[in-house]
Chain A
Amino acid sequence: MRNLLFVLLLAAAPAFAIDKAALAKLAEGDNDEKIQAIAALLAEGDPEAAAVLAKFAEGEVVVDGKPVEVVVNNRVRVAVADALAALGLLAPERATRLAAAKALAGGADALMLPLVKKALDKESDPEIKSLLELVASSMQMKGGDKATRIAAIERLGTSNSPNSRTLLAEAVADADEDIRIAAQKSLREVQGKLAWGERAGLLFAGVSLGSILLLAALGLAITYGLMGVINMAHGELIMIGAYTTYVIQDFFKMTFPKAFDWYLLAAIPASFVVAGLVGMMLERVVIRWLYGRPLETLLATWGISLMLIQSVRTIFGAANVQVENPAFMSGGIQAFAGVVLPWSRIWIIAFAALVLFLMYFLLTKTRLGLFVRGVTQNREMAACVGVHTGRVDMWAFGLGSGIAGLAGCALSQIGNVGPDLGQGYIVDSFMVVVFGGVGQLAGTVYAALTLGFANKFLESVSGAVIAKIVVLVFIIFFIQRRPQGLFAVKGRTVEA
């Protein structure tokens, strides 16, 4: 006990240099006084203030060498946390100062203005300095005399951060006429600058979602679009790809921890092969008996999907598993103010384009592709000229399943990997294929991108769930207007 007290005294010793009146207020004042005291401590900018405040947050203040117990409620605790973050502005390390400035830019109490001004005087780094100027302006805008406020509003007008827009939107409703006018002008300027960034961000989000939908639907475009097999287990093949990635990742973590960043290079072919093999097995064992009976295929493949889900649960457990991104996939690039493009999304867009290209190449330039197209156009004729149609079916189904596996590998990098992963994509992928027009690769691409954009655009207007419902209802009505999809194969038969 004596030792503990001694340590406490040592820790508190430098605090004697700090304003005693403020300390007394911290110890005995009411909540408003406490917050003022915190601001007073901050204004001095003394590094020792941090120690005092940290201790205060734990409920103790040392006055005249004697520890006093204090009650800290939620509001005061928030003020202390802000203050501690703000003290980082005076730290010698650039990274700490930047983090502190960013935290303050998210919204801070006007009481910290003196500290921010002090930090501004000292600051030499241009990035932090501009951030701090913004913070100072937003604080001055809220309080002080009219001229300072208008000046602050004008300065905010030159910034391009979403925070200043929120602040200015508040000021537009101010009681004072001049301030209202100044705020309106600044708000227009900020909005003009932000609009382009937001449009670009929306565009990127649309392409990103479109590429994910495309990856999920490309495999289905072969198995359903070309072969006419309603594969309800398609989502589960995606899941198998994701779990293969997980296994490879774990394997790398254990055996080659140094080469961990390269595990994706092994996971991509592995997920393709594993999902492809599972698909080929399904085709041989179940699906080939059901060609020409689509409704039965639907039910049987649904049964397969249930069994696949349960086997994954038995092997890996029902909980989600962790798939870590390699270093080059994490983080992002700041393209515009307030718009960060994550690297994982950028890589997936590139990956989807690559898969699309390879698939196009395979279907149009290789012998297997020729056979697949031949068999889908006229099975009997293809068999007559010597194509082994059964084997072509197996390979084509394997190819479609393998691409589903690739989709799973990509999805493991941006979302949760669990036994139910596939269920979330099955309705979406069918919508893409049906919307694009069955039997059309180009249709699938257009449909995926259109739905991606539509979804993201509606999301920015009405929220995610409503957006999804609107898109689904739109497709339902679209199919009723044009049952053959966006791009129809022309024909004269009555029965599709």
Chain B
Amino acid sequence: MKLYGAKGWIAIGIASLIAFVVFPVLTIAVPPESPFHISQYWVTLIGKIMCYAIVAIAMDLVWGYTGILSLGHGLFFALGGYAMGMYLMRQIGRQGQYQSDLPDFMVFLDWKEFPWQWWNTDQFWWAMLLVVFVPGLLALVFGFFAFRSRVKGVYFSIITQALTFAAMLLFFRNATGFGGNNGFTDFKSILGLPITTPETRMLLFTLTALVLIATLLLGRWIVTSKFGRVLTAIRDAETRVAFCGYNTVHYKLAIYTLSAVICGIAGALYVPQVGIINPSEMSPANSIEIAIWVAVGGRGTLTGAIIGAGVVNYGKSFFTQAFPEYWLYALGLIFILVTLFLPQGIMGLLKKKS
């Protein structure tokens, strides 16, 4: 099975070289005085953007290739993040402010023991299972009911938005047991390694890059396979595909669930790098932003999704530092201009040129 041409593989090779060799050497081995040194700021920023790029690929699989615009992908991302966050909170142990086995927020709420959701979360393997299965099961159940009753198009977008909104309200409650408004923060270590040292950060960075490349290849494998062809056909004429004898519900459900799991993994990589997770990650605005990353890069091209996530998020971090007043104007304009003038996104623009 040929995924990419020679040029494509060379590009992936160069990207891996940069992520796995150049970056680690320049941040850790090169001393800070040297002009070639890369600071922690860039490691965190690019690590964060790579997590977003993984989400963008997941979104592109369901929206760009299958035509399902989900406005709830932020929820899956946050669920993966929360699962990881629970493990990280357990890793703090007695180093918290109150020197208790329980996380600080539980001591503050005067709880005496862990609620049931926290069962076994001090085990890394269990947390990893949660990262995969909680978003996956939610997507499977929700998607099953939605696709079976042929909820599609805008209706699907609106109810996924309502779903993430409801989840946000739920996680804002202190009684839900996930730290309410403040969520989880102040992490100390992961798998026994202190979380703030450059070495651990670099490890997380390279791990994220690895997952990103793996997701890209997996996505590419899916969309070039027969399964992927059926997905594209569903996007273009679902009724016709159904009349050809394909059960479209199964196809949509499979890609939707896979996409949710990928988002969950991205969330789990995001939390230790950024150091915080709270319910605002589930706000409907965040989920819509994911869609615009894909739209900017170009729907229906996986590379486009990565480029889109990179461009928009780099723009965001640049604007919010240089001109915090104008970021929302810029983001709003991107939404409008891309939908009006660039339906194929940046990739479409590049294709037209060549």
Within 8 A of A (CB), among B274-295: 284-285, 288, 291-292, 295
Which residues A469-496 have CB closer than 8 A to chain B?
Answer: 469, 472-473, 475-477, 479-481, 483, 494-496
Query: How far apart are the CA atoms of A232 and B332 in the complex, in Å?
Result: 12
Q: Nearest-CB distance from A465 to chain B (Å)?
A: 5
3 closest A-B pairs (Cβ-Cβ)?
Answer: A303-B335, A307-B332, A310-B328
Q: Is the interface of B mostly helix, strand, loop or mixed?
A: helix
Confirm or deny: A124 has a beta carbon within 8 angstroms of a beta carbon on chain B.
no
Q: Let me know if A300 and B340 touch, CB within 8 A.
A: yes
One digit per residue, 1 when the CB lies within 8 angstroms of any chain B CB and 0 when it does not, for chain A 448-484 equals 0000000000000000011011001101110111010
- Return chain B residues, CB-CB under 8 Å to A423: 285
A294-B153, A430-B158 are known contacts. Are A299 and B291 too (CB-CB below 8 A)? yes
Cβ 8 A contact of B325, one of A302, A314, A431: A314
Question: From residue A475, how far is it (CB to closest CB) to chain B in Å?
Answer: 7
Interface: A116 (CB within 8 A): no
Sample 14 A-B pairs with CB under 8 A, ordered by A number: A230-B154, A286-B340, A294-B153, A296-B339, A299-B295, A299-B339, A304-B332, A306-B328, A309-B328, A310-B332, A427-B165, A431-B158, A479-B151, A496-B153
Per-residue contact bits, chain A 289-325, to B (CB 8 Å; 1 contact, 0 not): 1100011111110111111011101100000000000
Instruction: Flag if A307 contacts B329 (CB, 8 Å).
Output: yes
Within the complex, the shortest CB–CB distance from A313 to chain B, in Å, comes to 8
Instruction: Check if A100 is an interface residue, CB within 8 A of chain B.
Output: no
- Shortest CB-to-CB span from A293 to chain B, Å, is 8
Task: Please tell me if the beta carbons of B165 and A295 are within 8 angstroms of each other in the complex.
Answer: no
Instruction: Kindly identify, within residues 306 to 342 of chain B, every residue whose CB is under 8 Å from any CB belonging to chain A.
Output: 325-326, 328-329, 331-336, 338-340
Shortest CB-to-CB span from A47 to chain B, Å, is: 45
The docked-state distance in angstroms from the alpha carbon of A299 to that of B239 is 25
Answer whether residue B213 sits at the interface, using C-beta atoms and an 8 A cutoff: no
**Residue B169 at the chain A interface, CB threshold 8 Å:** yes
A434 within 8 A of B: yes
In the complex, the answer to whether A469 meets B335 with C-beta atoms within 8 Å is no
Within the assembled complex, what's the spacing in Å between the Cα atoms of A314 and B328? 11
B158 proximity list for chain A (CB < 8 A): 430-431, 434
A300 in contact with B284 (CB, 8 Å): no
Docked complex Cα distance between A290 and B335 (Å): 13
- Our pick among B154, B166, B284 for the contact of A294 (Cβ within 8 Å) is B154
With an 8 A cutoff between CB atoms, is B93 at the interface?
no
- From 251 to 299 in chain B, residues with beta carbon under 8 angstroms from any chain A beta carbon are 284-285, 288, 291-292, 295
The segment from B29-37, B142-150, B217-225 that touches chain A is B142-150
Task: Determine whether the beta carbon of A295 is less than 8 Å from that of B340.
Answer: no
The answer to whether the Cβ of B69 comes within 8 Å of any Cβ in the partner chain is yes
Contact check, B155 vs A479: say whether CB atoms are below 8 A apart.
yes
User: Smallest CB–CB gap between B169 and chain A, Å?
Assistant: 5
Q: Report the Cα distance A423→B288, complex, angstroms.
A: 13
**How many Å lie between the Cα of A230 and that of B161 in the bound state?**
13
In the bound assembly, the distance between CA atoms of A294 and B339 in angstroms comes to 11
Q: Establish whether residues B157 and A295, one from each chain, have CB atoms under 8 Å apart when the complex forms.
A: yes
Interface readout for B152-173 with A: 1 if CB under 8 Å, 0 if not?
0111011101110110011011
Q: How far is the CB of A205 from chain B (nearest CB, A)?
A: 19
Contact assessment for B340 and A302 in the assembled complex, using a CB-CB cutoff below 8 Å: no
Decide if B343 is an interface residue (CB 8 Å cutoff). yes
**B residues within 8 A CB of A472?**
162-163, 165-166, 169
Judge whether B332 and A289 touch: CB under 8 Å.
Answer: no
Chain A residue with Cβ nearest B160: A476
Q: Are A469 and B325 in contact (CB under 8 A)?
A: no
Cβ of A286 to closest chain B Cβ, rounded Å: 6
Contact B149 A481 (CB under 8 A): yes
* Complex Cα gap A168–B222 (Å): 69
- Contacts A230-B154, A307-B332, A476-B159 given; does A290 touch B165 at CB 8 Å: no
Cβ of B159 and Cβ of A302 under 8 Å apart?
A: no
Contact call B332/A469, Cβ cutoff below 8 A: no
- B328–A307 touching, CB < 8 Å: yes
A296: B residues at CB distance < 8 A: 339, 343
